[in-house]
Structure 1
Amino acid sequence: MNRFAAWTIIGLTLTFLIGPFVIIIGAALSAGNVMSFPPEGLSLQWFAKVFAIDSFRTSFAISILLGLGSPLAALVLGVPASYAMARYDIRGAATVRLLVSAPIIVPGIIVGLALLRYMVIPTGIGLLGALFLAHTALVLPYAVRVVSASMDNLRVDIEEAATLLGCSRMGAFTRVVLPNIRGGILAAFILGFVTSFNEVPVALFLSGPGITTLPIDMIGYMEMNYDPSVAALAALLALLSITVIFAAEKFLGLSRYV
């Protein structure tokens, strides 16, 4: 393959990946009253309107709450599980890893319907609690996989040296293991935050009046309105996700863990 063909393929790939984002930004900057591309003039009015819509502010707060809370809960479960599978010879460890990955493998629509039918309706747990549990289950595989990768790269003899010097097993875990895998823990948290914040299929079943995540609120808004404010909000969310991922790559080396 010559250089021209290689650059052509790269250009087409980048166009396919970045093209939708460019279109969304163009529509968000439109001065018209209807979402369109190319934009009808240029204006920032729709970015200002995003912050004036009450439902967007409420659903954004719920998405942030879930995006921060569910990765933390997943790490509370995932870090001990990863440590146990890395340090002890557990029968069926491969099966456990496969079961932990089930939320990624099973379509989100099935997960949402199952939680609605067999958890929310029978127990009356409430939509916010159900969303929290669902998001925790969805990001748990990332916590286990990323932290497990960090555990596999951590030398066992460092922890054994700490215990030989008089440190308890728990003390060695908190003083030696955790500081050495903090990069993996932070990477898992960031991946979990982005996954939770952008989750749609499960939230479709578990949202209701007053309890709606931002992506679902955007879908509902577009059913009644077709102005560029949704495009402006989508552009802001895309920029937020890109900023988080780039910062994680720069300061944590995210690509080492995923």
Structure 2
Amino acid sequence: MKARLPSYAVLTLLVLFLVGPFFVIVAASFSAGSTLAFPPQGFSFKWVEKVFTVESFQASFALSMFLAIVATFAALVLGVPVSYALSRYRLPLAETVRTIVSSPIIVPGIVVGLALLRYLVVPFGMDITLSLFLAHTALVLPYAVRVVSASLENLRSDIEEAAVLLGSSRIGAFFRVVLPNIRGGILAAFILGFVTSFNQVPVSLFLTGPGVRTLPIDMLGYMERTYDPSVAALSALLAFMSIGIVFIAERFIGFSRYV
């Protein structure tokens, strides 16, 4: 037992290091004071209630939710065929293709955001929402390809070949056999992409403009103007939302098997 004490101590310190800031933010969000501080000054729900009355938060939340859903869906529409081709066929330069597809998460987000601003928005005057959609789709695509590819690797190819031998077309076998068997991986990729897109900061920071801001960027701007606990309250709500999504996904599809 004594030999395990150092391990337990290190584990306890690690857990405190990881979850400590989260508890600080949650505690600060229920403060009765007028400034963001810890320990909290009393207890009140007024800052949680205020979050739902700030119009900019409502608009930016709607935009972030729209981008997260639509961009992740678009990434899956592109990523599933790419994953299938990489998993089922011996393509030339397959590893190069994987590297290119993964580049949005390998290259720093600030570099990606600046590049998209310089080569999409500035010369062509592209609509801000459209540029955000394209950027978020590119950022989510690597997760879609990797998660769906892992799911396809675990699916025996002879099942699909059996469907073809029994008279199904290759496309028919894909929709009737492959897709139903990798739906867990597709759903896991969607959840991972949704959370990634919703919480995206570096790229969105370069591409947002007047009146068009994602929620994380709006929160940064709000903190520059007002330093009250409402930002902590909103942060706590978003953290609980993300934790709830991942918990439900783990409960029903075994999220940890795919990521």
TM-score under structure 2 length normalisation: 0.98
Q: Runs of 5+ in structure 2 lacking a partner?
A: none
Paired position in structure 2 for 1:116: 117
Paired position in structure 2 for 1:229: 230
Counterparts of 1:175 and 1:123 in 2: how far apart (Å)? 42
| Deviation by residue 1:79-108 (Cα, 9 ceiling, x = unmatched) | 000001111110111111111110011001
Paired position in structure 1 for 2:257: 256
Alignment of 1:31-50 (within 5 A): 31-50=32-51
Task: Compute the RMSD of aligned alpha carbons.
Answer: 0.8
Runs of 4+ more than 4 Å apart: none
What is the letter of the counterpart of residue 33 of structure 1?
A: S
Cα deviation, residue 248, structure 1: 1.1
Cα deviation, residue 250, structure 1: 1.3
Alignment of 1:46-85 (within 5 A): 46-85=47-86
Paired position in structure 1 for 2:133: 132
Counterparts of 1:9 and 1:143 in 2: how far apart (Å)? 35
Q: Secondary structure at the match of 2:37?
A: coil
Identity of aligned residues (%): 65
In terms of mean alpha carbon deviation, does 225-234 or 3-12 score higher?
3-12
Paired position in structure 2 for 1:26: 27
Q: Secondary structure at the match of 2:44?
A: coil
| Deviation by residue 1:58-117 (Cα, 9 ceiling, x = unmatched) | 000000001101110000000000001111110111111111110011001111111111
Counterparts of 2:173 and 2:214 in 1: how far apart (Å)? 40
What is the letter of the counterpart of residue 210 of structure 1?
A: G
Counterparts of 1:72 and 1:254 in 2: how far apart (Å)? 18
Q: Secondary structure at the match of 1:226?
A: coil
TM-score under structure 1 length normalisation: 0.99
| Deviation by residue 1:174-225 (Cα, 9 ceiling, x = unmatched) | 0000000000000000000000000000011001111100000000000010
Q: Runs of 5+ in structure 1 lacking a partner?
A: none
Counterparts of 2:199 and 2:67 in 1: how far apart (Å)? 11
Paired position in structure 1 for 2:100: 99
Counterparts of 1:125 and 1:166 in 2: how far apart (Å)? 48
Cα deviation, residue 136, structure 1: 0.3
